[in-house]
């Protein structure tokens, strides 16, 4: 199945065109690109494989991890990595017996709907690699190697995989792998790995009298009818069909009874969606400033936790506007951005932003209190 590349093809093609580069070597290479330096490879080659190839030397304790966790991770994941507010819980759902067998029993239960990270993780190397490369959420790759060991040690302790006095290191991590609750829970399955793999379903192209009865086994639950909004507003307003107004009950009667109303409603969704001229009415922030503030919000990681019109980790800017838009709370809000705060909008604290200038924070607040114009 292997098809070997033929470098000679390059040489032939280039030769015909008469553009053989002076740098092109005898094997027909293009001479493009340059050698990577050892420091460059070291800077980017941060992956850790499940046989621990790539794992750097280092260590961290559960205690050290707890401190980092509280300041850096708990906002999103909860103090005990149990939070389900923004991400699926990391820890929970595993037992001492699972640690013995390497199979998480609760995964076999049809009623187990939440699958925590520790229930599924096959290899501890995966956790180390991912914390190193992608965490924390809004400041990835900011933990040093020892800090990654420490944070992971804390998580493993929460999952009762290691004791509270454990030191996780490149030397002890193999012991941890032997206690990972779902280490035996995966199969490498070739059927969907190889392009010529063996399928596991075997339908046939029957053309007539294929079924005795057509059994409808599932329909959209009534409560989900309007969950995606007005479907008419998501479909074209011309052609053989229109979208249905899913904010209303299903259509009744026969098609002739419905055509006109369906057409008219579909057309109305388009007019409703059209931007109105007074969208920015009353706004004193210019569109250039809006663009600049949006860039500031983006560059400073604000949009990881806030969005204009929907609650993310923190309140939406429109929610803040509707609470503070009437008064003059600029100073207090600027201080809140710079120094952080908690308790106003829910359990998640707003972290401090020491690298943000007061002037930039003031621009952000001015934009929010202007109604967060788009």
> Hey, which residues between 130 and 189 contact another protein (CB under 8 A)?
130, 133-134, 137, 140-141, 182, 185-189
Out of 208, 222, 326, 327, name the contact with another protein by CB under 8 A.
208
> Is 64 or 125 the residue whose CB approaches another protein more closely?
125
Pick one of 16, 26, 277, 281: the residue that binds another protein (CB under 8 A): 277
Q: Token pair for residue 311?
A: 């609650």
The residue whose two tokens read 């709370």 is 329
The residue within the footprint of another protein, chosen from 86, 268, 290, 335 (CB under 8 A), is 86
Residue pair 190/198 in contact by the 8 Å Cβ criterion: yes
Give the count of residues interacting with another protein (CB under 8 A): 128
Could you tell me the maximum CA-CA distance found in the chain, to the nearest angstrom? 78
Task: Please give the C-alpha separations between residue 128 and each of 31, 113, 184, 214, 262, in angstroms, as whole numbers.
Answer: 37, 26, 19, 50, 55
DSSP sequence for 74-87: HHHH-TTS---SSS
Minimum distance between the CB of residue 152 and another protein, rounded to whole angstroms? 13
DSSP string, 130-179: HHHHH-STTSTT-S-HHHHHHHHHHHHHHTTSS-TT-EEETTTHHHHHTT
User: Contacting another protein (CB under 8 A), which of 12, 20, 114, 192?
Assistant: 192
Distance between CA atoms of residues 36 and 41, nearest Å: 7
Site for another protein in 113-132 (CB under 8 A): 115, 117, 120-123, 125-126, 129-130
Using alpha carbons, list the distances in angstroms from residue 131 to 82, 143, 151, 152, 157.
17, 8, 8, 8, 16
- Residue 10 C-beta: closest distance to another protein, Å: 7
Q: Which residue stretch of 160-168, 202-210, 341-349, 353-361 sits at the interface with another protein (rule: CB under 8 A)?
A: 202-210
**Residues 281-300 contacting another protein, CB under 8 A:** none
Residue 165 C-beta: closest distance to another protein, Å: 27
Whether a cis peptide bond, with omega within 30° of 0, leads into 136 is: yes
- Closest among 79, 86, 152, 90 to 115, alpha carbons compared: 90
Give the three-state DSSP class for 231.
helix
Show the site string, 232-271: x = touches another protein by CB under 8 A, - = not: xxxxxxxxxxxxx-x---xxxxxxxxxxx-xx-----xx-
Least distance from C-beta 353 to another protein, angstroms? 18
Q: Is 223 exposed, middle or buried (0-12, 13-18, 19+ CB in 10 A)?
A: exposed
Query: Should residue 32 be labelled a site residue for another protein when binding is judged by CB under 8 A?
Result: yes
* Binding residue (CB under 8 A) for another protein from 12, 15, 20, 47: 47
User: Is 47 or 358 the residue whose CB approaches another protein more closely?
Assistant: 47
Residues in region 298-357 near another protein by CB under 8 A = 303-304, 307, 310, 312-313
**What are the φ/ψ torsions at residue 60 (nearest 5 degrees)?**
-160, 150
Decide whether 296 or 303 has the Cβ nearer to another protein.
303
**What is the smallest separation between the CB atom of 145 and another protein, expressed in angstroms?**
15
DSSP label of 312: S
User: How far is residue 12's CA from residue 27's CA, in Å, rounded to a whole number?
Assistant: 11
Q: Return the structure tokens found at 330.
A: 């600029």
Q: Which of 271, 259, 280 is nearest to 230 (CA)?
A: 271
Q: How far apart are CA 21 and CA 15, in angstroms?
A: 9
For residues 219-238, which are near another protein according to CB under 8 A?
A: 219-221, 224-225, 227-229, 231-238
Q: Counting contacts by CB under 8 A, is residue 279 touching another protein?
A: no
Instruction: Give the interface segment with another protein, choosing from 67-75, 97-105, 161-169, 366-374 (CB under 8 A).
Output: 97-105
The least distance separating another protein from the CB of residue 269, rounded to whole angstroms, comes to 6
Q: Give yes or no for residue 218 binding another protein (CB under 8 A).
A: yes
Q: Considering the complex, state which of residue 4 and residue 354 has its C-beta at the smaller distance from another protein.
A: 4
């Amino acid at each position: 199945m292997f098809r070997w590349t033929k470098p000679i093809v390059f040489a032939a093609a280039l030769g015909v065109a008469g553009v053989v580069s002076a740098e092109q070597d005898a094997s027909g290479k293009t001479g493009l690109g340059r050698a990577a330096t050892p420091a460059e490879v070291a800077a980017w080659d941060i992956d850790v494989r499940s046989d621990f190839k790539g794992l750097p030397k280092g260590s961290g304790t559960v205690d050290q991890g707890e401190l980092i966790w509280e300041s850096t991770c708990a906002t999103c994941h909860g103090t005990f990595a149990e939070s389900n507010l923004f991400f699926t819980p990391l820890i929970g759902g595993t037992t001492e017996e699972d640690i013995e067998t390497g199979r998480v029993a609760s995964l076999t239960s049809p009623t187990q709907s939440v699958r925590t990270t520790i229930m599924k993780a096959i290899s501890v190397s995966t956790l180390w690699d991912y914390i190193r490369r992608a965490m924390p959420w809004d400041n990835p790759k900011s933990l040093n190697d020892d800090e990654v060991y420490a944070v992971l040690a804390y998580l493993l302790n929460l999952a009762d995989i290691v004791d509270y006095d454990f030191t996780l290191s490149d030397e002890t991590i193999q012991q941890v792998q032997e206690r990972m609750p779902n280490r035996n829970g995966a199969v490498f399955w070739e059927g969907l790995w190889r392009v010529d793999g063996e399928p596991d379903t075997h339908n046939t192209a029957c053309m007539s009298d294929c079924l005795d009865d057509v059994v409808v086994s599932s329909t959209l639950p009534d409560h989900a009818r309007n969950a995606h909004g007005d479907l008419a507003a998501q479909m074209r307003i011309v052609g053989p069909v229109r979208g249905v107004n899913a904010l209303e009950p299903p259509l009744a009667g026969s098609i002739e009874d419905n055509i006109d109303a369906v057409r008219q409603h579909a057309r109305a969704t388009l007019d409703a969606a059209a931007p109105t001229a007074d969208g920015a009415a009353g706004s004193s922030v210019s569109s250039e400033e809006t663009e600049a503030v949006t860039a500031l919000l983006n560059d400073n990681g604000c949009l990881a936790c806030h969005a204009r019109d929907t609650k993310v980790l923190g309140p939406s800017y429109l929610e803040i506007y509707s609470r503070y838009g009437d008064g003059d709370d600029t100073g207090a809000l600027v201080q809140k951005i710079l120094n952080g705060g908690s308790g106003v909008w829910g359990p998640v604290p707003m972290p401090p932003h020491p690298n943000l200038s007061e002037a930039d924070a003031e621009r952000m607040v001015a934009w929010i209190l202007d109604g967060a114009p788009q």
